[in-house]
Structure 1
Amino acid sequence: MIDVVGIGPGDVSYGLLGSEALYEQADYILGSERHLEILPAQYAHKGVVPPKKLAALESLIASYPEESHIVYLVSGDPLIYGLGKWMSEKFKGRTRIFSGISAMQYLASQAFIPMNDAYLTSSHAKTPDFDLIMSLSKVFMVTDDNVGPYQIAQEAVKRGLKKTIIIGEQLSYDDEKITILPASEVQNRKYKMNVVVVMDER
């Protein structure tokens, strides 16, 4: 059994109730160093930092006995730009998904933004379709170092669009920062781990 567990946006208080029972049952608990930090001390010895490349990850999981109980910790919700889809397809019939609160949902709650009409996307390792994004009234984006808040805002500016940009950095952590401003005022600087919302000005 492989349980892919969304741990929420970061702070342990946003994790799923019942996760500790999964940790107790697990033979191996996979996750990044940051994810494994949430483990209670008695389960830390089960922690494994997996390779980042999917082919190597597949080989690692395949190397474990098939009867093993594997828990894989991931940020947010595994099915919102996470490993959930890949894991459920690669290890069909062996995978369960436990959805946590995504960083997008967390930012929406902190900034009081209804998500009913939102479009969700990501700039991780790809060039976003900015013509589509800028044509919509409300878009949530997980960003990376190449396409971050400033680059997204500039796409609105060069199209002459009046967009509000909401930037959530280090969401749920002690140094959380949420900034709301017009696209034209977004600074060209280094942003910490973040989610961006692009909205029509109101």
Structure 2
Amino acid sequence: MITIAGIGPGDSQLRVYGVESCLADADVVVGSVRQLDTLKIDQNKRMKLPKLSDLREYVNNHLSLNIILLASGDPLMYGIGTWAINNFGRENVRILPGISSIQYCFHRFGLSENDTFFTSSHGRKPDFDFLLMHQQVGMVTDDEIGPYEIAAEIRRRHQHRMIYVGEDLSYPTEKLSIFDETNVENRKYKLNVVIIKNA
């Protein structure tokens, strides 16, 4: 059995009840160094997240162990939960939900999530013609398609939108910014979520 534990956007106070007891019972906890350090996982339990092909092989060879795989945010919102179900079968996977970074970002800006299209630009090129048909979009971004690139795509289509950017959400370095398509700063953004909203 493998458990995918959603640990929320970062702050321990935003973790869903049950994650701590799940971690206490684990034989092995798999995650990024940042996740493992944040949760203070014992050295004898921790395993740095390997390539997914290696992780698949490890889990398949150790299904008798209580393996916990950490997921930032919510495992089934552009997270590793879907990968786990597809690779190990629903009967071998338990999912502990978490607060997604997108959900948290909406709350920090005081914006309703109703009728929002949720997506991610991680490792993919979004269809901006399709995205901008929506009144509101919540998007997890990456280094390739971030706030500045999104604003450029909006300008290219001669449209107007408000762009809300949340960086390092729930961490002490959290930064919240509000732009429109004309004034998004051309800089490197930390881990971030972008909300695109019709003005």
Q: Provide the residue aligned with 1:181 in structure 2.
A: 179
Pairing 1:103–2:101 present: yes
Q: Distance in 2 between matches of 1:13 and 1:161?
A: 39
Pairing 1:48–2:47 present: yes
Q: Provide the residue aligned with 2:123 in structure 1.
A: 125
Report how far residue 91 of structure 1 moved: 1.1
* Maintained 8 Å contact 2:105/2:166: yes
Q: Provide the residue aligned with 1:39 in structure 2.
A: 39
Which amino acid is 1:14 matched to?
Answer: L
Runs (5+) with no aligned partner, structure 2: none
Q: Provide the residue aligned with 2:10 in structure 1.
A: 10
Q: Name segments (4+ residues, structure 1) moved above 4 Å.
A: none
* Maintained 8 Å contact 1:168/1:177: yes
The answer to which of 187-196 and 12-21 deviates more is 12-21
Which amino acid is 1:50 matched to?
Answer: L
SS at match of 2:111: coil
Report how far residue 54 of structure 1 moved: 2.1
SS at match of 1:45: coil
Residues 46-93 of structure 1: CA deviation (Å, up to 9, x unaligned): 110121x321221122232x2111111110000000011110121111
| CA RMSD between the two structures | 1.2
Q: Provide the residue aligned with 1:74 in structure 2.
A: 71
Which amino acid is 2:27 matched to?
Answer: D
Which amino acid is 1:4 matched to?
Answer: I
Identity score, percent: 41
SS at match of 1:97: strand
* Maintained 8 Å contact 1:140/1:196: yes
Q: TM-score, normalised by structure 1?
A: 0.94
SS at match of 2:77: coil
Runs (5+) with no aligned partner, structure 1: none
Report how far residue 45 of structure 1 moved: 2.4
Q: Distance in 1 between matches of 2:40 and 2:32?
A: 15
Aligned residue among 131, 141, 160 for 2:139: 141
Residues 103-140 of structure 1: CA deviation (Å, up to 9, x unaligned): 00000111011111100011111110100111111001
Pairing 1:91–2:88 present: yes
Q: Provide the residue aligned with 2:21 in structure 1.
A: 21
Q: Distance in 2 between matches of 1:50 and 1:4?
A: 13
